[in-house]
Structure 1
Amino acid sequence: MKTTELTPFKNEPFTDFSVPANKADMEAALRKVKSELGRDYPLWIGADKVMTDGKTVSINPGDVDQVVGRVSKATKEHAEKAMNAALATFETWKKVPAEKRAEYLFKAAQLMRERKHEFSAWMVFEAGKNWVEADADTAEAIDFMEFYGREMIRLSETNLHRPLPKIPSEDNKIAYIPLGVGIVIPPWNFPLAICVGMTTAAIVSGNTVLLKPASVTPVIAHKFVELMEEVGLPAGVINFVPGSGGEIGDYLTSHPKTRFVSFTGSKEVGLHISELAARTAPGQIWIKRLIAEMGGKDGIVVDETADLEAAAQAIVVSAFGFQGQKCSAGSRAFVVESVYDEVVERVRALTEKWTVGLPEQNYPAGPVSDKGAYEKILEYIEVGKKEGRLVVGGGNAEGNGYYIQPTVFADVDGKARIMQEEIFGPVLAIGKAKDYKEAIALYNDTEFGLTGSFFSRDEDHIAYAFEEMHCGNLYVNRKCTGALVGVHPFGGFNMSGTDSKAGGYDYLLLFTQAKATSRKI
C-alpha cells in the first residue's frame, strides 16, 4: 500500500450525546460493560496468557464498592520471560513491511470505531470519566492508530518522496529502521488514548514492546491488548506486564536489552526513569532512548482587551475538565488588574454550575483517580486557604467515591505552592498582574512548560505572547486542553519532558534510527 492510495487522515468525530439515539447507544454500552465487571485478567507473555496469584484490584473511583477487574501482577521472573519473548519476536517483526504493520493499526482503529461506546464505558467505570471525556479519549486512540499507520508508510517511502541529492557515481538512500525492544509505561488519566498512542507508535515502527499499564487503570489497557490480538497482531509484539513500578518497572528500565523507554506520568517518576536509563548495564551496547512526557503547571493569561466571558469559560473548562487530571489542565490563571475582578467573578459563577456526581450518570465533574490523589488534593486545598482567597469549593463532595468540589482561589502570589506545584486535581489559582507582560512573566515562572493559553484582541500583545510564553503548546483565545492528533503535536519544555510531540509528524522518528546507505555505481 502506498501513501497515495491511503485516504487523507481525518480526526475521529466526537459523539453528540444530545442526540437520543447516541444517548441510547451509550446507555446500552454502559449496561453491557457493567455486566462484565469484576473479572480476572492475565499477563500476556509471547503467546502465553498467565494468571498469577497476585492481582491489582481495579475499583471504580466513583463507587468504591464496585470492582472493575482483577489484573494479574508480573514479577521480575515474568518480566524477564516477557523480555525474551519480545527479543525473539523482534527478529521477525522488524522484517515485516511497514504497510503490513500499519494495516494492523488500521484494522484495530476500525474495530474500535465500531465499538467506540463500549471502550468509552470501560473508562467511565475504571477512570471516572464522564461520557464526553471518555468519548474524546476513545476518539483520540482511534486517531493515533490512523495517524501513525499513515506516518509509518510515509517514512518507509522517504526515498520516493524526499530523495537524497544525487551524485554521478553513487546511489544513496536513507531508511528508518526500528530500535529494538521498548518499555511502554502509559498514564492512568488517558488510559486508552495515550496507552494506544505510545504502544502503536512503537510497534508500527517495527519494535516490540513490554507494556506496563498504570496500576489505577489496567483493565482498559488489557482491552486494547485483546483488540490487537483480535486483528491478528503476532504474539510477542505486545507483551502485557502490569506490576509494581519499583519492582518490574525499575528492573525493565535498567535491563541491558531495553533499547528505549516511552513514559508518560509525573515529573518525579520521569526523572527516576531518566536516571536509571542513563546508567549502562553490563552487556548493554547502546545508549537507551527516553521518550518522556512529565506533566505541567499550565495556565491561561488574560489581558484587558480580551473577550472576558470566553476567557472565563476557557479557564473553567481547562481547570475542571476531567477533574483537572490532565497534564494540560489550566491550574493557573494570570489576569491583568483592570479586568481582574470581573474575570474572577465570571469564573466563580461558572464554577458554581459544575455539579459533581457519578460518571455513569454523566455529571460534569466526577471523582479523582484514587484515595492517594484524593488525600493529596485535599491537603493542597488546605494549603490554598492560607495562600489565597477561597472563591468557591474548598473541600470534598458527596458520593461513595473520591469526589472533590471544583475549587477556586484568587489573589494568589506567583510563588505560592498552589501556583508552583502540580496538584493534578480540580484546584485553580488566580493571580493579578499590572499588565500583559507581567502576566506572561508570571506564567513563565515555573519549572514546567507544557501548555498555555493567551486571551487578547490586540495583535501586538498576541505577537508578544507567541514569542515569549515558554511552552510546548501555546493556544490563543481558546482553552489550553484538548490537543488533536495531527493538528496540535503535543509535548512540553523543561520539566514537562522531552517535547516528543505525540501526534505529530516527527514522533515516529523517536522510535526509529536513520540508516544511510551508499552504493558506488
Structure 2
Amino acid sequence: MVVAYKHEPFTDFTVEENKQAMLDALKKVEADLGKEYPLIIGGERITTEDKIVSVNPANKDEIIGYVSKANKELAEKAMKTAEEAFESFWRKSDPAVRADILFRSAAIVRKRKHEFSALLIKEGGKPWNEADADTAEAIDFMEYYGRQMLKLKNGVEVESRPIEFNQFHYIPLGVGLVISPWNFLFAIMAGTTVAAMVTGNTVLLKPASATPVIAYKFMEVLEEAGMPAGVVNYIPGPGSEVGDYLVDHPRTRFVSFTGSREVGTRIFERAGVVHEGQKWLKRTIIEMGGKDTIVVDKEADLELAAQSIVKSAFGFSGQKCSACSRAVIHADVYDQVEKRVIELTKEVSAGNPATNEHFTGPVIDQAAYDKIMSYVEIGKNEGELLVGGDSDDSKGWFVNPTVFGNVAPDARIMQEEIFGPVVALSKAKDFDEAIEIANNTEYGLTGAVITNNRSHLEQAREDFHVGNLYFNRGCTGAIVGYQPFGGFNMSGTDSKAGGPDYLIQHMQGKTTSEMF
C-alpha cells in the first residue's frame, strides 16, 4: 500500500538556515565546474573527442562541463542496446519494481535538493525560487508517475459474460526517444524520461544541448536507485544528426518531445513517415510553445491583475511555454492596470541569479538573446515601449523586463512566441472581445482570467480555448497531479503531463478474452 502523496513543498529562502544551505550547495557545485561527462549506453561510459560545452548563461566564461557528443554510430549502438534491454527483460519487468525505482530516485533527489537546484542556477540561469520549484517538480513527477503506474498495472475492469472472461491491460510500446528542453532542464527532462521508463519502455535520452550536465546527474540518480543498465541511455548530441536519425529510425516506437513549435512540427512530420523495416505507426507525445494571455476584466482586483501579469511574464525571464506574453485588458481599467504594471516592472531587474537579488536572471544563450532583442525592435514599431527594452550581453545574456502598451491584437509581438521577458498589453472594449483576442493565436496552452464576475468566469471556462486555464491567478505554475499540463492547437498534442492520462500514452491496450 503506497501512502498518499501531495506535492514537494517549496523552500522558504527567507529562513536563514535554508538560505545558508543553498549557499553551501552553490559552493559544492562550483567545485565541480569544468568536469568532463561521458555518454552512458548500456551502463557503459563512452567518451568522445567532440564535446558539448555547457556554459553558465549568467557568466559566459564559467564552464559548467564538457559533455561527450553522440553521433549516428553511437545513436545506433544506443538503439540496439535499448531494444535488447526492452526485449530481454524490461518489458516483462514488475511494474511495482519499476515504480520503486522512481520512489527511490525521488528520495535521493529530495536529500540533495539544494545541490540539484544549485546546478539549475548555474547551468540554466534560474533564480533560486525557480530552481527550487524545478527540482520540486522533478520529485513530484517521479512520485506521481510511480503511483500512477501502480494504479494501472492490473489494467482496467471490463465486462465479462457467463461464457467468457475478458481482461484489458496495458503493455509497453518499445524503445522511446525522449528529447527534453533546456528551460525546465530537470523537471521536464526527468518527468518525460521516467514516464517512458516506468511504463516498461526503454529510453534514448537526448537532453537539450544547452543543459546536458543536469541530465547526466539524473542518470547517476537512476543508477543509484537500481535502474538496470540499458533501460535509459544518455546520448546528448545535435538534433540535426542524432535527433533526426532516431526520429526516422524504423525501430523507434515513440517520440516524446518538449520544445519549440518549429522543431515539434518537424518531428511530428518526420515521425509520420513509415520507413523500410518499420512495422508500427510511431506515436508522438509533443509539447510545444504558447502565446499565453491574461485577460483582465473591468470587474477585477486590479492589483492582483498587475501582479499576475508581471510575475507570469518575467519569471525565469519569460522562458516558459506558459509565460504571459500578452495581457488583454478591459478599456475601462486599462490605464490603471498599465500604470501599475509599469511600476511593478521597474522594481524588477535582470541579474546574476546566484546572488538571489534579482527576480529575473539571464536568457539561455546568444541565439535566444538575439531573437528576443529583435522582437524588442519589432515592438517599438508596433506599440509604445513603456519600460525596459535594454539589455547587456557583455558577461551573460541579460534582457531587462520589457513592457509594450497599446498593441494591436494582430501585431507580431501579440502573435509570435518570443520566449523572453517581453509582454504586450492590448485593450478590449468588452469581455467578449477580450476572449476573442485571447483566442486569436495559433497556440492554445495557458491563459488566465482576472475577474469577480461569475458569469464571465463561466463564459471563459467554455470559450477560452487553452489546455490550462486559470482564474484569478497568473498563467504559470502548474503543479503535478493538481493541474495536468498541456495545450491545444499548435501548443502540441495536449499530452497533459502530470495528469491521470499521461502514462497511458506510453503504452498500448491489450484485450484478452477466454471462452468457457
- Give the TM-score category using the shorter length: over 0.9
CA distance in 1 between partners of 2:267 and 2:155 (Å): 33
Equivalent residue number for residue 216 of structure 2: 222
1:497 maps to which of 484, 488, 492:
492
Offset at residue 164 of structure 1 (A): 1.4
Offset at residue 197 of structure 1 (A): 0.4
Give CA deviations for 1:203-245 in whole Å, capped at 9, x if unaligned.
Answer: 0000001000000000011110111111120000000010010
Do structure 1's residue 426 and structure 2's residue 424 form an aligned pair?
A: no
Do structure 1's residue 245 and structure 2's residue 242 form an aligned pair?
A: no
Amino acid across the alignment from 2:16:
P
Check whether the contact 1:62–1:399 (CA below 8 A) recurs between aligned residues: no
Do structure 1's residue 86 and structure 2's residue 82 form an aligned pair?
A: yes
CA distance in 2 between partners of 1:510 and 1:268 (Å): 23
Check whether the contact 1:357–1:399 (CA below 8 A) recurs between aligned residues: no
Amino acid across the alignment from 1:298:
D
Equivalent residue number for residue 104 of structure 1: 101
What does 1:298-337 correspond to in 2, within 5 Å? 298-337=292-331
CA distance in 1 between partners of 2:399 and 2:500 (Å): 38
Offset at residue 520 of structure 1 (A): 1.3
Q: Over the residues paired in the alignment, what is the CA RMSD in angstroms?
A: 0.8
2:365 maps to which of 362, 370, 394:
370
CA distance in 1 between partners of 2:181 and 2:350 (Å): 24
Do structure 1's residue 60 and structure 2's residue 36 form an aligned pair?
A: no
1:133 maps to which of 130, 134, 140:
130
Offset at residue 399 of structure 1 (A): 6.3
Residue 378 of structure 2 aligns to a residue whose secondary structure is helix
1:281 maps to which of 266, 275, 286:
275
Equivalent residue number for residue 47 of structure 1: 43
CA distance in 2 between partners of 1:136 and 1:168 (Å): 53
Equivalent residue number for residue 17 of structure 2: 21
What is the identity percentage for the equivalent residue pairs of Structure 1 and Structure 2? 58
What residue ranges of structure 2 are gaps of 5+ in the alignment?
none
Do structure 1's residue 392 and structure 2's residue 387 form an aligned pair?
A: yes
Equivalent residue number for residue 398 of structure 2: 403
Amino acid across the alignment from 1:268:
E
Residue 158 of structure 1 aligns to a residue whose secondary structure is coil
Amino acid across the alignment from 1:122:
L
Amino acid across the alignment from 1:173:
Q
Give CA deviations for 1:67-117 in whole Å, capped at 9, x if unaligned.
Answer: 000100001000000000000000211111100000000000000000000
What does 1:116-155 correspond to in 2, within 5 Å? 116-155=113-152
Do structure 1's residue 31 and structure 2's residue 27 form an aligned pair?
A: yes
Offset at residue 506 of structure 1 (A): 0.3
1:184 maps to which of 178, 190, 193:
178
CA distance in 2 between partners of 1:47 and 1:108 (Å): 17
CA distance in 2 between partners of 1:469 and 1:293 (Å): 19
CA distance in 1 between partners of 2:395 and 2:197 (Å): 40
1:460 maps to which of 434, 444, 455:
455
CA distance in 2 between partners of 1:394 and 1:104 (Å): 47
Amino acid across the alignment from 1:371:
Q
CA distance in 1 between partners of 2:275 and 2:155 (Å): 35
Residue 92 of structure 2 aligns to a residue whose secondary structure is coil
Offset at residue 166 of structure 1 (A): 2.5
CA distance in 2 between partners of 1:345 and 1:398 (Å): 29
Equivalent residue number for residue 472 of structure 2: 477
Offset at residue 10 of structure 1 (A): 1.1
Do structure 1's residue 257 and structure 2's residue 254 form an aligned pair?
A: no
Residue 496 of structure 1 aligns to a residue whose secondary structure is coil
Tell me how many residue pairs correspond in the alignment: 514
CA distance in 1 between partners of 2:393 and 2:347 (Å): 16
What does 1:187-206 correspond to in 2, within 5 Å? 187-206=181-200
TM-score with structure 2 length normalisation? 0.99
Offset at residue 398 of structure 1 (A): 7.4
